[in-house]
Structure 1
Amino acid sequence: MTEQPGAGMKADIADQPEVFARLLDEGERVAQIAGVAAKIAEWRPRSVVFTARGTSDHAALYAAYLTEIRLGIPAGLASPSAMTVYGARPDLRDTLVVGVSQSGGSPDLHEVLRVAKEQGAHTLAVTNNPGSPLAGVAELHVDVAAGHEVAVAATKTYTAELLALLLLVESVRGGGALPAEEAAELRRLPGLAAELLADDTATHLAARYRFADRLVTTGRGYAYPTARETALKLMETSYVAGLAFSGADLLHGPLAMTQPDVPVLAVVGGGPAGTSMRDVVGRLSERRADVVVVGPEAVAGATAHIPTPAVDERYAPLLDILPLQRLALALALHRGENPDAPRGLKKVTTTL
């Protein structure tokens, strides 16, 4: 019997509370990440450079925010082509270079870490495959332990990367151990994720975008990677043009294209970034844009609201993306597509 379209992506999405629980187990996983964190704390890098592609690029962007805000260390995302295409050999002494990849199989990321080691950097790989080339070339490795992912579009491997990177950064901040109060808060995540996945609000909203040609996603701070990942999920499963902007960048020009027939998904959480996003929603409302807010509270000027739990804004990206994954799944099915096997895509993409 042929499996129904979207069954794989649906199963992957539903597996995320269990993936969270597995990563947060007090045994092997937390101990492994703590050991890596202790080594990084010992190295005391003066800067951190992340390298990634696709969905993992958004997890790396999240980690860059965490690194600068929580550790006070300058962080950024590398352009792999600088090394792989142009042959650049930057001075990377006192730098930690982190490769983030679900498969760990893309040659360009492997090459970036190889060159980084030659140029004096310490290296770390964060993957869902401990036996991958990327894990093999790095000095240290973190296994995100998401298990096998059925669909081509990444869902549970993305949130597993987010949680692993969060655990890593907070453990580095703790000198090589996750603070007890942090661990207690994070243990709430599997239950919160399960409750959120039981809410069908996002699925019901999908029908309104069935005939959309393009859609804007926006957020600031920790929420910006969520906006970017949402746009990617919509593009690769429903083939709608997803345009992702930070809330600040949206006001610097792209606001002009927003109008009633260009839907906007705005991620508006707590903290200072969420506060600033309320002004963005107000500006969008002035242009009569169809704005759906994703976050713990409804926002004046929005036309609809997808509720998510009120948590520390560092944790929100692990939860806010869940209903948006379900929205992407439902929209693809409304449009007669199979999100498990997007046209022209493979699970592992190799670039150089």
Structure 2
Amino acid sequence: MTEQRPGEHMAAEISQQPAILAGIVERQAEIAEVAEAISQRPPRFALLAARGSSDHAALYAKYLIEVLLGLPCGLVSPSTATLYGARPDLRDVLFITVSQSGGSPDLIEVTETARRQGALTVSVTNTPESPLRAAAELGVDIGAGLEKAVAATKTYSATLLSLYLLIDAVRGGKGEDAAKLGELAQQTLDSADEGVQRAVDRYRFVDRVLTTGRGYSYASALEGSLKLAETSYLAARAYSGADLLHGPVAAVDGETAVLAVTSQGHGVGAMQEVLEAVGKRGADVLAVGSASADVPAALRIGVAPSAEEVAPILEILPIQRIALGLSLARGGDPDSPRGLLKVTKTR
């Protein structure tokens, strides 16, 4: 029996993403059926429930719902229902629960509670036979296939695309901006190799990393921070570019690495002041995204240009590769990080 190499699963699953994304685009009619059911019951506002990487996908969906649908949207705290017994009136509310496994007890319970309280409940999961799917009235299967590595990679990007296609279809869209994402994802991975290796060589001994982004890209900053923490055990923190200037910038110095996610669109203009500020404090800035060439940085990794709304699906790809490379360079195995399980069950 061949011995598994460290990081083998994570590397393979990162590489599978272009094909998975292309497959989701081909299945968008299934997602459109769920969107049609939502359109038949127009919500007053939307709520999202999630944990971990799925929580970052939910934040991405929050931006989509507020910008594309013009609806107020919030991220719920499941414990208000599971621990404190809150039972709000959720009539005419769209309640979307995002979970790769569909098995966390708190997410199942809060979905069941929301449904009893009158919400239209939708599960977005990679496990269509899960208890979460049974708890929700409607369900979107992201179809990423079995993910063996503990760190979510292909399930994360697949969740982002599924959420985009769902929300775009609710507004009557046909997913045009996502049509070539499989091809663009392959371009992004193919072109990132040199920059990723330079980043790994440059930051393999760093202890403190800040990740930052604005708008849609803030979700990528959060997910990037989580990947660096769980695979390389780095002290990684994520901040919105706006929040970074409101206090945390005081902790930035020459020993700080800053990973800035900067894709073309409204967000990149808002990041200029942020990166100038951390640069003046001596931070070493790595810019990742389709606008990486347009911001002050010591190192840049470009991403294939796309519509701003779908950029996070692409910009996370080289960040995943950086997390993989740093983990291996620091002697770790990102397929089995210490103290972590694939499915985390909380209440």
Q: Same fold (TM over 0.5)?
A: yes
Give me the whole-angstrom Cα distance separating, in 1, the residues matched to 2:131 and 2:290: 40
Alpha-carbon shift at residue 300 of structure 1 (Å): 4.4
Q: Which amino acid aligns with 2:180?
A: R
Contact 2:48–2:74 at 8 Å: present in 1 too? yes
Match of 2:107 among 104, 109, 112: 109
Deviation string 1:115-174 (CA, Å, 9 cap, x unpaired) is: 111111110000001100000010000000000112000000000000000000000000
**SS of equivalent to 1:323:** helix
Question: Residue 79 in 1 paired to residue 80 in 2?
Answer: no
Retained in 2: the 8 A contact 1:128–1:143? yes
Find out whether 1:197 has 2:189 as its counterpart: yes
Q: Does 1:208 align with 2:224?
A: no
Cα distance in 2 for partners of 1:9, 1:173 equals: 35
Whole-angstrom distance in 1 between the partners of 2:329 and 2:166: 39
Distance change in 2, residues 1:321/1:220 (3 Å): same
**Whole-Å separation in 1 of the counterparts to 2:58 and 2:300:** 28
Equivalent residue in structure 1 for 2:269, among 275, 282, 300: 275
**d(CA) in 1 for partners of 2:186, 2:198:** 18
The equivalent of 1:172 in structure 2 is 170
Q: Which amino acid aligns with 1:104?
A: G
Partner of 1:57: 55
Pick aligned residue for 1:48 from 27, 31, 46:
46
Give the letter aligned to residue 43 of structure 1.
R
CA distance in 2, matches of 1:256, 1:311: 34
2:209 match: secondary structure: strand
Correspondence for 2:143 among 145, 158, 163: 145
Which letter maps to 1:156?
K
- For 1:313-328, what aligned pairs fall within 5 Å after superposition? 313-328=308-323
The 10-residue stretch of structure 1 (114-123 or 199-208) with the greater mean CA deviation from structure 2: 199-208
Instruction: Give 3-state SS (helix, strand or coil) of 2:61's partner.
Output: helix
The residue type equivalent to 1:14 in the other structure is S
- Aligned equivalents of 1:294 and 1:300: distance in 2? 10
How far apart, CA to CA, are the structure 2 residues paired with 1:17 and 1:271? 23
* TM-score normalised by length of structure 1: 0.96
Asked whether the 8 Å contact 1:203–1:326 carries over to 2, the reply is: no
Q: Which residue number corresponds to residue 8 of structure 1? A: 9
Q: Which 4+ stretches in 1 moved above 6 angstroms?
A: none
Are the equivalent residues in 2 in contact too, given 1:127–1:142 (CA < 8 A)? yes
Q: Distance in 2 between matches of 1:260 and 1:296?
A: 26
CA deviations on 1:168-192 (whole Å, 9 max, x unpaired) are 0000000xxx43xx43x32211111
Partner residue, 2:324: 329
What is the identity, as a one-letter code, of the residue corresponding to 1:232?
Answer: L
Q: Secondary structure at the match of 1:216?
A: strand
Contact 1:105 1:350 in 2 (8 A): yes
Q: Which moved further from structure 2: 220-229 or 114-123?
A: 114-123
Structure 1 CA distance for aligned equivalents of residues 220 and 310 of structure 2:
12
After alignment, is 304-313 or 154-163 more displaced?
Answer: 304-313
Q: CA deviation at 1:207?
A: 2.1
The equivalent position to 2:223 in structure 1, one of 229, 242, 257, is 229
Instruction: Give unmatched runs, 5+ long, in structure 2.
Output: none
How far did 1:213 drift? 1.6
Partner of 1:218: 212
Amino acid at match of 2:181: L
Rounded Cα–Cα distance in structure 2 between residues aligned with 1:289 and 1:121: 46
2:121 to 102, 120, 123: 123
1:222 deviates by 0.1
Asked if structure 2 preserves the Cα contact closer than 8 Å seen for 1:268 and 1:278, the reply is no
What is the aligned length? Answer: 343
**Cα pair 2:95 2:120 within 8 Å, conserved:** yes
Question: SS where residue 48 of structure 1 aligns?
Answer: strand
1:347 aligns with 2:342: yes
Counterpart pick for 1:158 among 148, 156, 159: 156
* 2:256 counterpart SS class: coil
Answer with 151-160 or 303-312: which moved more.
303-312
| 1:206 to partner: Cα distance | 1.1
* Alignment-mate amino acid for residue 141 of structure 1: G
* Residues 298-322 of structure 1 deviation map (CA, whole Å, 9 limit, x = unaligned): 1343111111122111111000000
Report if the CA contact (8 A) 2:123-2:133 is conserved. Answer: yes
2:179 aligns to what? 187
Provide structure 1 residue ranges, at least 5 long, that are not aligned to the other structure.
none
Q: Which region of structure 1 is more displaced relative to structure 2, 53-62 or 193-202? A: 193-202
Identity rate of aligned residues, in percent? 52
Deviations 1:195-226 (A, max 9, x none): 11112112331122222222000001000000
CA contact (8 A) 1:293 1:299 kept: no
Amino acid at match of 2:228: L
In 1: Cα distance, 2:32 partner to 2:146 partner: 24
| Aligned equivalents of 2:299, 2:106: Cα separation in 1 | 41
Whole-Å separation in 2 of the counterparts to 1:191 and 1:286 = 38
